[in-house]
Amino acid sequence: MKNNKEKYLPLFISGGLLIGIVIGTAISMIRGEMGIWLSLGVGGGMAFGAISFLIFQKK
């Protein structure tokens, strides 16, 4: 049986992914380099979601 907090991990990663897509798209429109900034935004957003889940789990 999963821990009660573990069921929130996909929500945090999905939220970070959405934030990363938005930020990556905005930066790529400003800078004009779509591929690199969108990829960095998605990867960074997923990492942000996972790290924020770990911080949330300690509380």
Domain boundaries, the chain: 8-53
**Per-residue model confidence (pLDDT) at position 32:** 85
What average pLDDT does this structure show over 49-53? Answer: 91
Query: Which of the two residues, 1 and 39, has the higher pLDDT score?
Result: 39
pLDDT digits over 2-46, tens only? Answer: 667 678 888 888 999 999 999 999 999 998 888 888 899 999 999
**Per-residue model confidence (pLDDT) at position 2:** 60
pTM of the model: 0.76
Contacts of 34 (CB under 8 A, 6+ apart): 28
Report whether 52 contacts 37 (CB < 8 A): no
CA 56/CA 10 separation, integer angstroms: 13
pLDDT at 1 exceeding the cut of 50: no
CA 24/CA 59 separation, integer angstroms: 30
CA 31/CA 54 separation, integer angstroms: 32
